Amino acid sequence: MAEARIYFDWNAGAPLNAAARAAIVDWLGRPGNGSSVHAEGRAAHAAIETARRQVARLVGAEGKAVTFCSGGTEAANTVLTPDWTLFGKPFAIDRLLVSAVEHPAVLKGGRFAADRVETIPVDGNGLIDLGWLAGRLDELAAGGQRALVSVMLANNETGVIEPIAELARLVHGHGGLVHSDAVQAAGKVAVDIETLDVDVLTLSAHKIGGAQGVGAIVRGRNGFAFAPLLTGGGQEQGGRAGTENVAGIAAFGVAAEQARSELADMAAVAARRDRLAALVRQTAPQVVIFGEAVERLPNTLCLAVPGTAAETAVIAFDLAGVALSSGSACSSGKVKASHVLKAMAVDEGLARAGLRLSIGPATTDAEIERFGLISDNVFRAMTKLHGTRVA
């Protein structure tokens, strides 16, 4: 009997957990629109509101601060707008500053004109350059301009965790707003919107065991509100028009509750991540692990073995029964170096060898050890093919 496949691509999409699956099946079998006033509609509305509170608890927010949408990309495109209000009064934004290592959904700039979007550089570990940011915010403030700064809480490729609370103090001191893409961080590290002091953060259900196609926007308790991207109805407290995906939202809430309960398991996940790194080093001592010197997500390992090519390695591992990736799943199919690694000033050849292994609470020690045997075969074959010595 063939051995089961090993799934090491949780950052692209975590497996749907059993409780979330049950919620989907339950709600797909029920009638009712959450905006209807009859019993079926009220039941759907109650399910949405329960999920709203569950998702809010995952990030230390109030339920009323959560707006559901179709996923992390829509969430980012919604909040990356120059049109905000503060307690109902216009609060216009002049510039959008995004880090060089953001997800493509943020790098595109949302609803800002291209000439109003600027890139914040990062260092060799992928951490934002706060000194550069401070200088640029000074310049903008001197010119009477206000900025929205968007920096992810944790990078989807390297797992590197950004100093968001420090960044927020800096930006707020210059009268600006802060958005943080917390899609990868939520459920893997403790996230508290008040401690981070961000004005808005965004989430995605399928990164924490929920269904694909559901996301959330979470606002801080400071009176700021964004102009909706989708209009035409009063759903989501006016924040996002369109009939809510009751089944997906209910599953999101269940997944958020489970993810919150599994935070205590993340130390064990980190130990397995480190074991993965050690096993690769046994085969290829020259391996480079990106972001290893700074705080990272406990489940994410981004590495490169010199003399290999990521696209070839992904295929070789897939044929050997292992699912992993090279860079963001949203940029898959493109044979080019990771923009994240390039922003970190990684050599082009090494960047083209970058692989991402991402695991989760259900990953077993047996899978880790079996990966070690498979990786030994794959990397030895690849480095031999390219003429690179492996110990």
State the catalytic residues. Answer: 330
Sheet holding 288-289, edge to edge: 288-289, 300-304, 355-358
Q: Classify residue 164 by its DSSP letter.
A: H
- Answer left, alpha or beta for residue 353, where phi above 0 means left and psi between -120 and 50 means alpha: alpha
> Distance between CA 314 and CA 124 in Å, rounded?
25
> Distance between CA 349 and CA 132 in Å, rounded?
28
Q: Decide the pairing of beta strands 224-226 and 89-90.
A: unpaired
> Distance between CA 374 and CA 313 in Å, rounded?
11
CA dihedral 388, 382, 368, 318 (to 10 degrees): 160
Secondary structure class of 120 (helix, strand, coil): strand
CA dihedral 291, 157, 184, 98 (to 10 degrees): 90
User: Which tokens belong to 374?
Assistant: 């498979």
